[in-house]
Structure 1
Amino acid sequence: MRTEAFLFGGVGVFFGGAAVLYGVWSRWDPAGTAALVLACLMAAVISFFCAVNYRRRGRRPQDRRDAEVADGTGPLEFFPPESRWPIVTAGGFAVAATGVVYGLWLFLIGVGVLAVGVFGWVFQYADRDSRPAG
């Protein structure tokens, strides 16, 4: 993950520099400068995520030249078998997007449903390590 962190860090630095140069040359055009700043921030978030995972887990078998195929075996992650929260989240987003057109009241309802969906999705298996096996 260290290589990916450096790669996305470089992309973030590129977009940050491009945002500054574009902003100066265009006399701080708000649309283009904002797009480049957001691209810089998105790359920085991915770089930060990769760097944190590298610190937590260390080097992967793919990162080592002396690794064998058997070093990569075993369970990779926990993948939930089923969940209702993606549907709730999508519904909340759809209602919020419709609320942008029809009014603040519908937008706020959509944001509420969206928040419930995201919260449920994030924390649905938060206590899975404390449950008994079986």
Structure 2
Amino acid sequence: MKVESRIFEICTGFFFVAAIVYTVLTHEPVGIAALFLTGGLSLIIGTYFRFVSRRLEERPEDNPEAEVADGAGEVGFFSPGSYWPIAVAACAALVGVGLAFFFWWLIIIAGVMLLIAVGGLVFEYHIRPADH
């Protein structure tokens, strides 16, 4: 994860430099706040990745002399066919429409549906222990 943390650290530097230049040139408060907050969020993500990278063993992506074959093998488990991501996206879109038009009833209904869809996605492969 060192590569990812380095990418976010470079982005953080860019955002803060851009925010300073923007401050000097424009004095426009909304853009200044947005650029500084973007730099701060990028700093949070980069710091998290740097913190996590110390606890993980080195991956092939972190070794500059690694070969393609070093990354071979099982990557992880991916669902072969799940409809839950579609449900999550549809419910999130409904929440967005409710927020855009400020329909409280739609926000509440879509929010409950979104929680159910996220629960379905998270617990899709959860198997209850046998009762015997």
Q: Distance in 1 between matches of 2:24 and 2:123?
A: 44
In structure 2, the residue matched to 1:82 is: 81
Aligned-partner Cα distance in 1 for 2:50–2:18: 23
**How many Å apart are 1:120 and its aligned residue?**
3.3
Q: How many residues align?
A: 127
Equivalence for 1:2: 2
Deviations 1:46-80 (A, max 9, x none): 42453355234322224335545543221112212
TM-score, normalised to structure 1, is 0.68
Separation (CA, whole Å) in 1 of partners of 2:93 and 2:7: 34
Q: List structure 1 segments (4+ residues) > 4 angstroms apart after TM superposition.
A: none
**After superposition, where does 1:59-78 map in structure 2 within 5 Å?**
59-78=58-77
Higher relative contact order (CA 8 A, sep 6+): 2
AA in 2 matched with 1:112: V
Q: How big is the shift at 1:12? A: 1.4
The match for 2:117 is 117
Q: Deviations over 1:72-114 (max 9, x none)?
A: 2211122122223212211212211221226121122222222
Given the alignment of the two structures, is residue 35 of structure 1 paired with residue 34 of structure 2, yes or no?
Answer: yes
Contact 2:15 2:38 in 1 (8 A): yes
Which segments of 5 or more consecutive residues in structure 2 lack a partner in the other structure? none
Deviation per residue, 1:29-49 (Å, 9 max, x gap): 22x134324532453354245
1:2 CA drift (Å): 0.9
Match of 2:56 in 1: 57
For 1:119 and 1:16, the matched residues in 2 are separated by 38
Moved more, 9-18 or 88-97: 9-18
Equivalent-residue separation in structure 2 for 1:9 and 1:17 (angstroms): 12
Asked if the contact 1:61/1:67 (under 8 Å) is kept, the reply is yes
1:11 Cα offset (Å):
0.9
Range with bigger deviation, 39-48 or 92-101? 39-48
Q: TM-score under structure 2 normalisation?
A: 0.69
Report the Cα distance in structure 1 between the residues aligned to 2:29 and 2:68, rounded to whole angstroms: 52
Seq. identity, %: 36
Letter in 1 for 2:85: P
Are the aligned partners of 1:91 and 1:113 in contact in 2 as well (CA < 8 Å)? Answer: no
